[in-house]
Amino acid sequence: MKIGILTGGGDCPGLNAAMRGIVLKAADYGYEVIGIQEGWKGLIEGDSRPLTIADVDEIIGKGGTILGTSRTNPLKREDGVEIVKENFEKLGLDALVAIGGNDTLAVAAEIDKQGIKIVGIPKTMDNDLSCTDYTFGFDTSVTIAVDALERLQDTGRSHRRIMVLEVMGRDAGWVALFTGIAGGADWILIPEEPVDFEEMCQHLNQVYKRKHYALVVVSEGIKIEKETIKSLDERDEFGHPIHRERGVGQIVANEIENRTKHPTRVAVIGHIQRGGTPTLFDRMLGTRVGVKAVELIANGEFGKMACLIGNEIKAVPLTDAVAELKTVTKDWWQLAKGLFK
């Protein structure tokens, strides 16, 4: 049995741990493992490399992905799926493990229908993939964001400023929500909830009277009616707008300063959230779903995704996992809002 692995979409800590879990478990069955370079792009171009135990021995604590990644979408390319199938056969693969978020696994679900034996592993720092309680990458990204917020708290307190931290989160606000709750933010803005500047600024004025500074966490994907967006027309191959120049953190900071008259500063940590050493949780989760993926292959359970439900690693159909985005629910938002005092 020869297994291929690819990592697609945005990178995040825990990818290397998952690959290590796959390679180590594959050794128990005598399976050969091939790494596909740069996600689906590697299967389109036939770019691969062997992955042995020696290759993964020391990568559990390393961020990113040793295979590289891309946002290539074979479904958007002429004959893309056929090319993927041809290279799957040319590489002599018997099964494929696709590690990715909604986009990568949506492609996997479609390619599974075309007859390629495939299993999925959920990763995304956004934690927005359905059918799994958590995805690896999320815990590390929030841990980094909380550290940034606490540093902003120090300087905000010192200079009597309102500090705005912009974090990633295109369609789901889990990173902003958890960062804000764990870091003691005074307000949080997420894509799932309408932005009410008046309500927020009235509250921030009260907070400022009490402690002479305030903390606000903003998700990059929040909806703002009156904003100047530089590059919303620029989209990736999956049709998502690219937010690198959207600048919602600065827009929010300007609104706060104009309305409250308190000095306000913004920090954007961006891709810093994606890199670095994975936390214990992400190392463990990545390893466990990697092992589970090989077990699914050994049992002939294709078209499924390894996932975390409670504290157990289980399997669900890929089609269920990508059917809808997992967004912040009202109960989570009410929990957060109840902490704004």
Residues annotated as catalytic are 126
Q: How far apart are CA 312 and CA 211, in angstroms?
A: 43
Q: How far apart are CA 251 and CA 312, in angstroms?
A: 42
**Cα 41 to the chain's mean position, in Å?**
19
Q: How far apart are CA 262 and CA 256, in angstroms?
A: 8
Whether residue 166 contacts residue 268, with contact meaning beta carbons closer than 8 Å, is answered with yes
Orientation angle between helical segments 330-337 and 174-183, nearest 10 degrees: 30
**Which candidate, 77, 1, 2, places its Cα nearest to that of 36?**
2
Q: How far apart are CA 192 and CA 326, in angstroms?
A: 11
- In sequence order, the β-bridge partners of residue 308 are 313
Q: How far apart are CA 95 and CA 192, in angstroms?
A: 37
Whether residue 53 contacts residue 21, with contact meaning beta carbons closer than 8 Å, is answered with no
Q: Alpha helix (H) ranges present in 160-196?
A: 174-183
Q: How far apart are CA 305 and CA 293, in angstroms?
A: 8
Q: How far apart are CA 274 and CA 136, in angstroms?
A: 11
Q: How far apart are CA 259 and CA 201, in angstroms?
A: 7
Q: How far apart are CA 293 and CA 99, in angstroms?
A: 10
- In sequence order, the β-bridge partners of residue 141 are none
